[in-house]
Amino acid sequence: MSTNSSFTKDHTITDAATKKDEADTGKDAITLTNIHFSYDKNPFIQGLSASFKSGAVTSIVGPNGCGKSTLVKIIDAILRPQKGEAQICGTPTLTMRMRERASKLAILVQAGHPPAMTVQELVSCGRFPYQQHHGGFTEEDKRLIQLAMQETGVKCFANKDVRQLSGGERQRAFLAMTLAQDTDIIVLDEPTTYLDIHACHDIMQLVRELNKNMNKTFVMVIHDLDLALRYSDEILVMQAGRAIFAGDTKSKQALQALEQAFSSHIAIAQTEFGAVHAIFPRGKQ
Amino acid sequence: MRSKRFIFLTFTSCLIALVLVSIIAFVVGSSSVGIADIWTLISGGELRASAYSILVNVRLPRILAALLAGAALAAAGAIIQAVLDNPLASPNIIGINSGAGLFVLLAASLFPGLLWLGPVAAFAGAMVTALLIFAISVGTNASRLTVVLAGIAITAIFGAGMNTILIINPDAYIGSSTFLVGGLGKVMLSDIVWPSAYIIAGLVLAVLASGKLNIMALGDQTAHSLGMHVSRTRLLMLALAAMLAGAAVSFAGLLGFAGLIVPHLMRFAIGHNNRLVVPLSALGGAIFVLLCDTCARVFFAPYEIPVGIVMAFIGGPFFIYLILRSRRKA
């Protein structure tokens, strides 16, 4: 069993710790200031402020309906908050031009129905923000498309239809598209939903690699607490439209906030393969 | 991705087919005109007056009309299917054709003297319907099925409107029964001058903008995050499709299935890349309608049936096949 590479390395705990020192923590990639948002009359997000560090992998976690995906849409200027503002590298998102924003921030949205394209065609879509009105691809475009496919390991099925790929391969192809977008920041909205457990770790390890090798800042909305705690440097815990904790994943307060948000106990078990987090709902057992 | 060679071959064979079908359409018919006569005409030689008249005054307008209408409707169909993310959509299914038709009949009935009004009315009717569909599909966040059902309802309403006009004022439109199924029997060169300008401009724009359809296929949120104004682009593309379909309807009547079938056939051949599907659909649509129209002229000679009927005989069964196929997938 110990030869199974995906699980033997405890990727995060060692890696994330060293990463933290290297990371350019001086500036914030995304800043949210006093965000208020509601879909109808009931307030949904109330006075949320948070910032995501440049060069780090940050997870946004919280129970269903706490406003995680809404927050992503506010960052991407799909939704306009009633109060407050989101900034990307110091510029308010709502004042940016569409393509300018798309050249700074890429978003991988929750898996919808896969497009009828080949992997290479899909990855090429990532160059859209830089293309002239209808033009073809420049040498630079082509280089970045190839690089993105290489870094995510999808080059071998460049000519395969996206619909024929497995869930994990497909997610890698989509990640390649966001890489081709050549932004400093990549936001992933539930990147591991519908994936089997091996593919989940596979994608998370890819995220760590891209963070390290290509110096990408990652912000991800994620449901699996064990994945979030293992693979991210920072964590933002949301509950009912508020941020109840933001900071170091390894801190005691992070665990406490998670326990509160999910009304559960979180146990950390040291195994021969590394540390895992087990969640026990409170009031049961 | 299909190889460049394959794409090139597909386009070339379509072009060759287009030329062949055009030659056949010039040659066959109730009056005997031969290839030799065409050659004489092209090379500028002396031609019998009767042969000249048949080629230039009878067959040329009709062939041009078939090519233009086919290209316009099929390109419009390819755009609409991509924009609404719906393989069952096409200008006639979602009511754009009948919107154009209703406005043409209204204009002909209210302002019988103004012949130039026809194309304008067709364009306006197509546009109004496209806006309606846009409002239904975006405003209510409707499912694909809802859009098709709403389109069928709109088609029924506008169809009822057209029939009402024709019952109250039977002389509103000469050859109205042909208009309702789509036919090219009475097209004159003067009828297609303005529409052809719209269609050619529309086709150029459609080919230039076709890459945007690929981004839209990724879903609204992804398209937005790639820097596209999604609603604006969708609206502009629908308007473009309406312009193409409206221009075709103004002289060809309510031609149906070209807009539905041809894009599907092209996707079978060349895949889903809209940069290829849109121009290839235009080519394929031109070939398809001209072929059907030639059949319509020849098969029942000396009688002639409107091309719309021939196309419905071919298109109807194909549509049923499509429904069965998408059902089985779901």
Tokens of A270: 């040291």
Residue B92 has pLDDT above 80, yes or no: yes
- Span A98-154, pLDDT tens digits: 999 999 999 998 877 788 889 999 999 999 999 876 667 899 999 999 999 999 999
Report pLDDT for A180.
96
User: What residues of chain B lie within 8 A of the CB of A142, using their CB?
Assistant: none
Supply the DSSP symbol for A130: G
Report pLDDT for A65.
85
Report pLDDT for A17.
41
Mean pLDDT across chain B, nearest whole number? 86
Most confident option among B7-11, B200-204, B249-253? B200-204
Tell me which chain B residue has its CA closest to the CA of residue A97: B227
Interface size, chain A vs chain B, as Cβ–Cβ contacts under 8 Å:
63
- For range B153-165, the mean pLDDT: 91
pLDDT band at B327 (very low <50, low <70, confident <90, very high): low
C-alpha distance from residue A266 to each of A62, A65, A236 (Å): 14, 21, 17
More confident residue, B105 or B57: B105
- Cβ of A134 within 8 Å of Cβ of B209? The answer is yes
User: What residues of chain A lie within 8 A of the CB of B218, using their CB?
Assistant: 115, 122, 125
- Cβ of A159 within 8 Å of Cβ of B1? The answer is yes
- Cβ of B272 within 8 Å of Cβ of A116? The answer is yes
The verdict on B224 touching A (C-beta cutoff 8 Å) is yes
CA distance B246 to chain A (A): 25
C-alpha distance from residue B69 to each of A128, A202, B116, B283 (Å): 32, 52, 18, 11
pLDDT band at A4 (very low <50, low <70, confident <90, very high): very low
Residue A43 has pLDDT above 60, yes or no: yes
Amino acid identity of residue B321, one-letter, is Y
Report pLDDT for B328.
64
The verdict on B204 touching A (C-beta cutoff 8 Å) is no
Residue A10 has pLDDT above 50, yes or no: no
What class has domain A22-109+187-281?
alpha beta
Residue B261 has pLDDT above 90, yes or no: no
Pair A200, A227: CB distance under 8 Å:
yes
The verdict on A85 touching B (C-beta cutoff 8 Å) is no
The verdict on A117 touching B (C-beta cutoff 8 Å) is yes
Is the bond leading into B302 cis (omega within 30 degrees of zero)? yes
The verdict on B270 touching A (C-beta cutoff 8 Å) is no
The verdict on B5 touching A (C-beta cutoff 8 Å) is no
Report pLDDT for B265.
85
Q: ipTM of this predicted complex?
A: 0.85
Mean pLDDT is lowest, of A158-162, A167-171, A257-261, B54-58, for: B54-58
Report pLDDT for A13.
40
Tell me which chain A residue has its CA closest to the CA of residue B229: A98
CA distance B303 to chain A (A): 45
User: What residues of chain A lie within 8 A of the CB of B214, using their CB?
Assistant: 117, 121, 125
B227's torsion region: left (phi>0), alpha (psi -120 to 50) or beta?
left
- Span A211-224, pLDDT tens digits: 999 999 999 999 99
Supply the DSSP symbol for A118: B
Give the phi and the psi of residue B273 in degrees, each rounded to 5: -65, 110
C-alpha distance from residue A151 to each of A69, A179, B200 (Å): 27, 9, 44
pLDDT band at B179 (very low <50, low <70, confident <90, very high): confident
Report pLDDT for A175.
95
- Span A251-260, pLDDT tens digits: 999 999 999 9
The verdict on A111 touching B (C-beta cutoff 8 Å) is no
Looking at chain A, the whole-number percentage of residues with pLDDT higher than 90 is 68
Instruction: Write out chain B in H/E/C secondary structure.
Output: CCCHHHHHHHHHHHHHHHHHHHHHHHHCCCCCCCHHHHHHHHHCCCCCHHHHHHHHHHHHHHHHHHHHHHHHHHHHHHHHHHHCCCCCCCCCCCCHHHHHHHHHHHHHHHCCCCCCHHHHHHHHHHHHHHHHHHHHHHHCCCCHHHHHHHHHHHHHHHHHHHHHHHHHCCCCCCCHHHHHHCCCCCCCHHHHHHHHHHHHHHHHHHHHHHHHHHHHCCCHHHHHHCCCCHHHHHHHHHHHHHHHHHHHHHHHCCCCCHHHHHHHHHHHHHCCCHHHHHHHHHHHHHHHHHHHHHHHHHCCCCCCCCHHHHHHHHHHHHHHHHHHHHHHHC
- Cβ of B227 within 8 Å of Cβ of A106? The answer is no
- Span A185-208, pLDDT tens digits: 999 999 998 899 999 999 999 999
CA distance B260 to B258: 5
Report pLDDT for A244.
92
Nearest to A53 by CA among A76, A25, A72, A34: A25
- Considering only the beta carbons, identify the residue of B1, B221, B227 that sits closest to A78: B221
Tell me the whole-structure pTM to 2 decimals: 0.85
- For range B113-141, the mean pLDDT: 82
The verdict on B2 touching A (C-beta cutoff 8 Å) is no
* Domain-wise residue ranges, chain A: 22-109+187-281
- Determine which of B2, B225, B229 to mutate to test the interface with A (most A C-beta atoms within 10 Å): B225
Tokens of A123: 């990855």
Tokens 């269609």 locate to: B199
- Cβ of A131 within 8 Å of Cβ of B226? The answer is no
Residue B244 has pLDDT above 80, yes or no: yes
Residue B308 has pLDDT above 60, yes or no: yes
The verdict on A132 touching B (C-beta cutoff 8 Å) is no
The verdict on B272 touching A (C-beta cutoff 8 Å) is yes
More confident residue, B326 or A77: A77
- Span B46-90, pLDDT tens digits: 777 777 778 888 889 999 999 999 999 999 999 999 988 888 888
CA distance A197 to A202: 9
Mean pLDDT is lowest, of A67-71, A204-208, B109-113, B239-243, for: B109-113
Report pLDDT for A32.
93
Q: CA triplet A231, A233, A239: central angle to 5 degrees?
A: 90
- Considering only the beta carbons, identify the residue of A109, A115, A129 that sits closest to B227: A129
User: What residues of chain B lie within 8 A of the CB of A121, using their CB?
Assistant: 1, 214, 273
